[in-house]
Amino acid sequence: MSQSPVTSPLAGHLQSTLVRPDTTRTEMIRHLEECAVYHFHAAMIPMCYVPLARTLLRGTPVRVATTICFGTGHETVAGKVALLRECVDIGADEVDYQPNMTYFLSGMHDEFHAEARALVAAAGGMTLKAMLELHYIAALADKQTAIRLLEEAGVPWIKNSSGGGPRPGHATPEDIRLLRATVKATTHVKASGGIKDYAQAQALRAAGAELLGTSAAVAIVTQQAATATTTGDDY
Q: What is the residue extent of each domain of the chain?
A: 9-231
User: For all residues of the chain together, what is the average pLDDT?
Assistant: 92
Give the distance between the most distant pair of CA atoms in the chain. Answer: 53
pTM for this predicted structure? 0.92
* β-strands 94-97, 211-214 pairing: unpaired
Sites in the chain below the pLDDT cut of 70: 1-7, 225-235
Element (H, E) at 97: strand 94-97
Distance between CA 39 and CA 20 in Å, rounded? 22
Beta bridge partners of 17: 44
User: According to the model, what pLDDT value does residue 152 have?
Assistant: 98
Q: 205, 226 in Cβ contact below 8 A?
A: no
For CA atoms 108, 192, 120, 152, the dihedral sign is negative
How many residues comprise the chain?
Answer: 235
| CATH classification code of 9-231 | 3.20.20.70
DSSP three-state, residue 192: strand
Angle at 27 between CA 25 and CA 30, to 5 degrees: 110
Per-residue confidence (pLDDT) for residue 186, from 0 to 100: 97
Active site residues: 96, 159, 190
191 forms beta bridges with 212
Q: Could you read off the pLDDT of 10-51 as tens digits, one per residue?
A: 999 999 999 999 999 999 999 999 999 999 999 999 999 999
